[in-house]
Structure 1
Amino acid sequence: MTLGKRALFLIFPVVLAGYFLAALSVHYAEKQSIRALEQAKLSQRLEHAAAVFQYEIQRSEGFLNALLNGNALRQFVAETDERYRIAALGVRLQESIRSLSDDPIAYLSFAILNARGEVEYYFENSWDPFAQIDRPQGDLARKLIASKRLSDLTYLEPTGERPRIVYSLFVDPVTFRRPMPSSKSKALLMQIAVLPDRFLHMQAALKKEYGADIVVQPWPLAVTDALSASVPLGPQLYATIAVPDSHFDAQMLQQKMQLAFGAIVMSLISICLIVLLIRRFITGPIATLDANVTAVMTGEHDEITGTGTIGEIGRLTQNIRELHRQSLNSLRLAQQKSWTDTLTGIANRGRFNTLAAGVVDNVLTSGGKCSLLFIDIDNFKFVNDKYGHEVGDDLLKTLATRITDCVEAISRRRGQAPSIIARLSGDEFAVLARSQPGDGTVREMSSAILALFDGGFEVSDKSYPVTASIGVAICPGDATTVAELISNADAAMYQAKTGGKNRSARFSRALHDKRTRQRQIQEELRAIDPNEQFHLVYMPIVNAQGQVTGCEALLRWHSPVLGNVTPDEFVPIAESSGLFSKIDWWVIDRAMADCHQLKAFFGPDTVVAINISSAELHSSAINDYFSERLVHHGLEPQSIDIELTETFAVKVSDQLRENIEELRRNGFRLSIDDFGAGYTSVQQIIDYAADTIKLDRALVADLAASHALPVLKAVVALCHAKDMSVVGEGVDTPEKLAMLTAAGCDRFQGYLISKPLALDDLAIWALTRTARHAPTLAANRFRDRPAAAGEA
């Protein structure tokens, strides 16, 4: 055997054994690296899932806090009238819950339970309109009521049902804060439950990839050598995952086969080359990535640079770079979203409040002044409904741009600090001008903004019939806080709107007094006992022969605090504050109770006309209440005439139309009151399903003053063609009565016939009228009697 062969037989086994040892070393080194990377990846994904889970928890807490700070929940809890609370305030609370939800189709439930574990309110955003609180959540509620805890966060995973995050909080029904432990028995338990869809998707993805499921339990995972991770989700709540050894063993088996083949092939390659390759492709890129991440964390660099490698380390580098980029973008987007209005791009209400607070503080400290212009778009809802929300959005964006341009131009030309321009909500904008009152800045800005609407507001070469109403309030003369400034400017804006729209108005003391009285009226209405302060008067309605065919019930209010309050004052306030149901239902019951006496005065065919708020028609409860009171008082439905204001048809919807048709099917009469007061059109006369049209007194006065008898005849003829009888209101002179009679009106009502009277006074009026008309009635009966055989 030659030396070469000996060397070959001696060196080759040694080299081969060395390479096998090197391959075995590489195997263990890579095994630990891969395990560390897999552990980091698993921990990262589990932390991501935990972040999503915690976001759902924060969303639940924020949602409940928003409800606790809102008026809808407070009114629902405070209302003692169970029927009214369910019929009206329950719907309002449901609308408030829907408006707070950022995803209209995401599962969300809200429950209110009393100290006995009884559900007082439950709403679930699902396809089931009759959904009720399920047993697992009910059991949880009873368990919390029996415990001493005032709040709780539970992840329910009932078998065969959808898992939910349930946030529970005990709330004092008076203060709407957490109760003292001693008064927990009087507190209400409020529960928000959300379905963590994203967390469940991540859980399914991890299970598919690793063959292991995320376990949510009240304790963390014990430390082991296995591939596992555990992260906290909330108080005493952890998410853990333990990957089976088979998952990692499969990866290691593949690596062993590759290393064994590589050891044979690389037995002819220098051990030095192996070391260089390992340093080049394994340890070097990891060290580079670590240095880059450290530089970004210390602020030396803004972005993680690539290592130029491929494989796991290259993908890990790209993933870390992408994660860092997404985090920066999310931070920028969150900051931008919290500052700007998403539609118009100008400041939103939160940003405006922050900036305005600084300006107000500076004004109060330095002794200067600032002016707030509160801008509301008139008839915007009409444009939104008629032309669509896309047109409405374009109009708002265009308006924001034009307001910004004209306000900034005025501020620059006058050498003043830039004004703060924001969209507060919907079609409401605000401009805070840092100028001295009297220098003409506010007047010029108001005129420039109003000029944008001259001849209609033009968007994309099309003009829309909108105008603006502007309210102006000055700090510190009118207010010393941002909230007061906005409130007073808003009141001035409504004053401008009441004065005819497309104008501006300055907040004044008289306006302050008016708002104070409105607030007092609202407070008195909330605490009022209708039987003590309300009473009804009745205004007779007569036919062409002078016979009384019915009486209209009119509400009167004498308050011990406010004195006599007219319906024109308190009815709009009651409607805007949700108190109209209490008033309308009392009027319905009282008028039906008086119906028998009215029939005794004027005959069995006498009809009682009852005015109801058009807001009542949004709920079917009014139908049930009319029918229930009708049976209670023993009346026929034909004895009741339900009067609706003519303007209700502008807002008519399928629900309103269905409620009106239901009243007609139940036999009630329907009248359209104050016809001609605001939105009259021939099309509305054709579409209205009513028995009677009541001509508004202003329309009657205008037609009488202009001697427009042909016009009045045409209106009456059109109503008769639709089988509607016509009642002329405001008959206070013989001339009006004569004109309405000549036009063909069927019945009449007004001060010429009688003013509104209480029942006792109405009885005297009926007796007097009967005595006065008795001879005429007898003559009419004699004249109409058929002639006897000898009288021919």
Structure 2
Amino acid sequence: MTLGKRALALIFPVVLAGYVLAASLIYYVQGSAILGLERARLWQQMGLLTALFQNEVTQNRSLIYSLVAGDTVRLFVNEPDAGYRSTALGVRLQQSITSLSDDRKKFISVAIIRPPLTVDYYYEDSADPFAEITPQQLAHARQVIASPRLSSWAYLDTAGIEPLIVHSEFIDPLTFNRPVASAKDSAILVQTAVRPNAFLEMKRTLEKEYGAAIEIGQHQFLAQGALSATATLGPSLFARLTPDAAFLESRLGTLKSLLALGAIALSLCTIGLVLLLVRRYITNPIARLDRQLTDVMTGSRSGILAMDEVGEIGRLSANVKRLHDHSMQSFDLVQNASWTDTLTGISNREYFNIRSTQLLEEAEEAGLGCTLLFIDVDNFKFVNDKHGHKIGDELLKTLADRISAIVARIVADRGLPDGLFARLSGDEFAIMLRCQPGGGTITEMANNILSLFAEGFEVLDKAYPVTASIGIAVYPEDARTLPELIANADAAMYQAKSQGKNGSARYSRSLHEKRTRQRRIEEELRVLDPDEEFHLVYMPIVDGHGRVTGCEALLRWTSPALGSVTPDEFIPIAETTGLFSKIDWWVIDRAMADHGRIRKLFGAETILCINISSAELYTKSISDHFCECADRHGVDTRLIEIELTETFAVKLGEQSRRNIEILRSRGFRISIDDFGAGYTSVQQIIEYPAETIKLDRALVESLTRSAALPTLRALVALCHAQDMSVIAEGIDTTEKMTLLAAAGCDLYQGYLISRPLTLEDLGIWAMQRLIDKAREGAQKPERRARA
């Protein structure tokens, strides 16, 4: 962070905090004022709403008194002829009602009701000529008739119906005055109703403005919160309006925004002025000194110039110049040391990455190519461990000197730019050349390097059994960036190792496709549903009499995207990417679920062999999962044999050994699988805790092809001496089985017996064996009879 930015980061928050505090105080004061104004306005609005309502009540009361005071109602009530009353007098009454209304659009209704509840007349000023009195009005009339009151009014507000102000008045039919209470039963009830349009319009306007409904009820309301107002609409009718919280926030939001913008604007102006002064007198002189130092470090400048500054900055400039002059002599030495491998004296990985990136950029600008040779010393770890680190270090130094000489000679002979040779790590080296394949340079260099190991690599007058594997990748054909080039050359180096070591290999399309497929397999493994894509097949294991004693569960994967993927492909990828648990746990659960059907086919003592990843035994949960699956599927643990690869036994750790002991204590059997495929040793057979040894098919093929019966007998006898049963894999001919039987082998497995079969096909195979055995049993008496 520059000094200017640091000053900004330190000063700006302080200035901004000051203005924000001032704006907050202003907001607090002005907010209180706005709240008071809004509260006064709200009470005023509620007062106007009350006035409108009471005006409507007064008009309604005047309407009923005007009707009663006229002759029309009197004539209507006292007319004995019902027909004349409902026609001529009814029309006359309607005209009187209409003449009393100032607003022709206003809803008015008049009803004349005789107790107990007989409607003699009803009229409403509406578009419906057949309108009838509403149930709410009748309910109000019923309440008035049932009560001791002679006059009453009410505000009827029912959901779905426009509110009405209703006034009811009892009239003596003779005097047309208010009757005495004792004559109420013979009086008539005149009821008028008006729709308070002005009141309702203002009510809707206030509700929309304040974002809250006006509460109207017959009990006294109390104001709620800082902004709330109540009103008394009538003797027993009250109203309250409590605006939504967002209303006040919106009123205060403008003030808040203006104050915030003002605080930010003033802060920016203030900090701009402060920074201008700081930059002029503090940061600019320091920045000039920093640029000089940077130019010196990058090589653009050879020295630091004196600055015409006074005070602390001037003294700082002079001191830095003296320090620079004293340190320049040692700087080059330190830089060279940081880019040199301390053991071999050649370039290290850091310098290789820096210089190789520059070489690729130069090659791209010139339209030329570069070639990378990635060299790995085979069996170096063996030499280092057996003969000591001193010999190992001497070997690496001697190798670096000889390869450096080869690179220098070939580059000079062919007139090429200087090559870059570096030690990347341990026993890995790299050569970067400004050339492309086709001219013979790369072939000559690779052959010269490999010739150093033709008869063992000689160090201090002694030859050591190391070789080299060289991977070659070309820019830009094989890669466009340095990381890609190194990765592809590394892949080609492993290809050379797989071809027999002490050889070279060029990165190819097939190698790219192989890596691409491995990547796709890894991607599919991460997202697959085991129940949808995995299935198990079973390979029978038989004894010398052909009786099936067990079955080995083998995993098969059919991917919708990749098709059929063999275990040899996806199991190593799953182990290196940490996905093996997902696979192993599914196999364990599914195989134990199938064990019951396998026992029905071959007998109650049939053993189920389950392969698990070598890395699985480093986890603590594998033993618990085996036991949980066995309990859930009702499987006898003594009938489950867990197969571990023989190479894993060599690197048996404390955690894995503890897991094996736990599994064995719970009844599970342990088997060493693929014995003879890796680092087989007699000591391993003696010390490794297992019930079964499975001879690898490659070992079986080798020993049976050479008819090495004594060797086989010795191996089987050693296993028997350790109480281990011996299973021979890869039995595909009768000759192999005969030789192994003669050696004392216990059990057999291979294509001569059966290929791996699905559970359904395994049932068919078992049935076919029974049929063949029955047919053979029937033929034996027949052959004896013929004899």
* Band the TM-score falls in, shorter-chain normalisation: 0.5 to 0.7
Shift of 1:382: 3.9
Match of 2:739 in 1: 739
1:680-711 deviation digits (Å, cap 9, x = unpaired): 33333333332211111122222222222222
- Comparing 378-387 with 638-647, greater Cα deviation is found at 378-387
Shift of 1:463: 4.5
Residues 1:630 and 1:700: Cα distance change in structure 2 (over 3 Å): same
Contact 2:670–2:690 (Cα < 8 Å) also in 1? yes
Q: 2:320 aligns with which of 297, 309, 314?
A: 297
- Comparing 489-498 with 614-623, greater Cα deviation is found at 614-623
Match of 2:205 in 1: none
Q: Secondary structure at the match of 2:430?
A: strand
Residues 1:359 and 1:465: Cα distance change in structure 2 (over 3 Å): same
**Structure 1 stretches of at least 4 aligned residues deviating more than 6 Å after TM superposition:** 290-294, 331-334, 775-780
Q: How does 1:736-775 map to 2 (within 5 A)?
A: 736-774=736-774
CA distance in structure 2 between the partners assigned to 1:745 and 1:715 by the alignment = 10
Residue type of the partner of 2:559? Answer: S
Match of 1:557 in 2: 557
CA distance in structure 1 between the partners assigned to 2:531 and 2:619 by the alignment = 25
Contact 1:295–1:301 (Cα < 8 Å) also in 2? no
Q: Secondary structure at the match of 2:416?
A: coil
- Comparing 353-362 with 746-755, greater Cα deviation is found at 353-362
Residue type of the partner of 2:648? Answer: F
Q: How does 1:128-139 map to 2 (within 5 A)?
A: none
Residue type of the partner of 2:748? Answer: F
Residues 1:774 and 1:453: Cα distance change in structure 2 (over 3 Å): same
Match of 1:540 in 2: 540
Shift of 1:546: 0.9
Q: Secondary structure at the match of 1:417?
A: coil
1:56-77 deviation digits (Å, cap 9, x = unpaired): xxxxxxxxxxxxxxxxxxxxxx
Match of 1:617 in 2: 617
Residues 1:519 and 1:301: Cα distance change in structure 2 (over 3 Å): closer
Shift of 1:371: 0.9
Match of 1:587 in 2: 587
Match of 2:488 in 1: 488
CA distance in structure 2 between the partners assigned to 1:300 and 1:662 by the alignment = 68
Residue type of the partner of 1:531? Answer: D
Match of 1:606 in 2: 606
Shift of 1:292: 11
Contact 2:380–2:427 (Cα < 8 Å) also in 1? yes
| Alignment gaps of 5+ in structure 1 | 1-289, 304-324, 781-792
Match of 1:62 in 2: none
- Figure out how many residues of one structure are paired with residues of the other and give that number: 470
Match of 1:379 in 2: 379
CA distance in structure 2 between the partners assigned to 1:737 and 1:414 by the alignment = 62
Shift of 1:506: 0.8
CA distance in structure 2 between the partners assigned to 1:651 and 1:379 by the alignment = 18
Shift of 1:493: 1.0
Match of 1:683 in 2: 683
Shift of 1:405: 3.1
TM-score normalized with structure 2 length = 0.55
Q: Secondary structure at the match of 1:760?
A: helix
Match of 1:444 in 2: 444
1:269-311 deviation digits (Å, cap 9, x = unpaired): xxxxxxxxxxxxxxxxxxxxx99997663359833xxxxxxxx
Q: Secondary structure at the match of 2:609?
A: strand
Shift of 1:758: 0.6
Contact 1:671–1:691 (Cα < 8 Å) also in 2? yes
CA distance in structure 2 between the partners assigned to 1:511 and 1:578 by the alignment = 24
CA distance in structure 2 between the partners assigned to 1:417 and 1:405 by the alignment = 15
Shift of 1:774: 4.6
- Comparing 339-348 with 769-778, greater Cα deviation is found at 769-778
Match of 2:291 in 1: none
- Comparing 753-762 with 574-583, greater Cα deviation is found at 574-583
Contact 2:650–2:684 (Cα < 8 Å) also in 1? no
Q: Secondary structure at the match of 2:741?
A: helix
Residues 1:750 and 1:774: Cα distance change in structure 2 (over 3 Å): same
Q: Secondary structure at the match of 1:732?
A: coil
CA distance in structure 1 between the partners assigned to 2:418 and 2:525 by the alignment = 44
Shift of 1:393: 4.7
1:505-552 deviation digits (Å, cap 9, x = unpaired): 011111111111111111111111111101100000000111111111
CA distance in structure 1 between the partners assigned to 2:741 and 2:324 by the alignment = 91
Shift of 1:332: 6.3
Contact 1:348–1:422 (Cα < 8 Å) also in 2? yes
Residues 1:707 and 1:429: Cα distance change in structure 2 (over 3 Å): same
CA distance in structure 1 between the partners assigned to 2:520 and 2:546 by the alignment = 43
1:523-582 deviation digits (Å, cap 9, x = unpaired): 111111111101100000000111111111111000111100111111122122222221
Contact 1:296–1:302 (Cα < 8 Å) also in 2? no
Match of 2:697 in 1: 697
1:583-615 deviation digits (Å, cap 9, x = unpaired): 122112211221122112111111111112222
Contact 1:473–1:492 (Cα < 8 Å) also in 2? yes
Q: Secondary structure at the match of 2:325?
A: coil
Match of 1:726 in 2: 726
Contact 1:376–1:427 (Cα < 8 Å) also in 2? yes
1:635-675 deviation digits (Å, cap 9, x = unpaired): 23221111122222343444444443343333321212122
1:194-217 deviation digits (Å, cap 9, x = unpaired): xxxxxxxxxxxxxxxxxxxxxxxx
| Alignment gaps of 5+ in structure 2 | 1-312, 781-787
Match of 1:111 in 2: none
Shift of 1:340: 3.6
- Comparing 755-764 with 387-396, greater Cα deviation is found at 387-396
Match of 1:217 in 2: none
Residue type of the partner of 2:370? Answer: C
Residue type of the partner of 2:443? Answer: R
Return the index of the structure with the highest Cα Rg. Answer: 2
Contact 1:374–1:472 (Cα < 8 Å) also in 2? yes
Match of 1:514 in 2: 514
Residues 1:756 and 1:467: Cα distance change in structure 2 (over 3 Å): same
Q: How does 1:212-361 map to 2 (within 5 A)?
A: 297-298=320-321, 302-303=325-326, 335-336=335-336, 339-361=339-361
Q: Secondary structure at the match of 1:298?
A: helix
Q: Secondary structure at the match of 1:555?
A: strand
Residue type of the partner of 2:640? Answer: I
Q: How does 1:69-148 map to 2 (within 5 A)?
A: none
CA distance in structure 2 between the partners assigned to 1:394 and 1:431 by the alignment = 20
Contact 2:436–2:474 (Cα < 8 Å) also in 1? no
CA distance in structure 1 between the partners assigned to 2:750 and 2:323 by the alignment = 87
Residue type of the partner of 1:618? Answer: Y
Contact 1:369–1:437 (Cα < 8 Å) also in 2? no
Residues 1:779 and 1:727: Cα distance change in structure 2 (over 3 Å): farther
Shift of 1:356: 1.3
Residue type of the partner of 1:521? Answer: I
Q: Secondary structure at the match of 1:756?
A: coil
CA distance in structure 1 between the partners assigned to 2:378 and 2:323 by the alignment = 55
Match of 1:667 in 2: 667
CA distance in structure 1 between the partners assigned to 2:779 and 2:691 by the alignment = 32
Q: Secondary structure at the match of 1:693?
A: strand
Shift of 1:617: 2.7
Match of 1:79 in 2: none
Match of 2:575 in 1: 575
CA distance in structure 1 between the partners assigned to 2:402 and 2:624 by the alignment = 51
What is the alpha-carbon root mean square deviation over aligned residues?
Answer: 3.1
CA distance in structure 2 between the partners assigned to 1:696 and 1:300 by the alignment = 71
Contact 1:541–1:549 (Cα < 8 Å) also in 2? yes
Residue type of the partner of 2:627? Answer: S
CA distance in structure 2 between the partners assigned to 1:463 and 1:666 by the alignment = 52
- Comparing 513-522 with 374-383, greater Cα deviation is found at 374-383
Match of 1:177 in 2: none
Residues 1:626 and 1:456: Cα distance change in structure 2 (over 3 Å): farther
Contact 1:646–1:675 (Cα < 8 Å) also in 2? yes
Contact 2:472–2:504 (Cα < 8 Å) also in 1? yes
Q: Secondary structure at the match of 2:512?
A: helix
Contact 1:471–1:506 (Cα < 8 Å) also in 2? yes
CA distance in structure 2 between the partners assigned to 1:420 and 1:461 by the alignment = 29
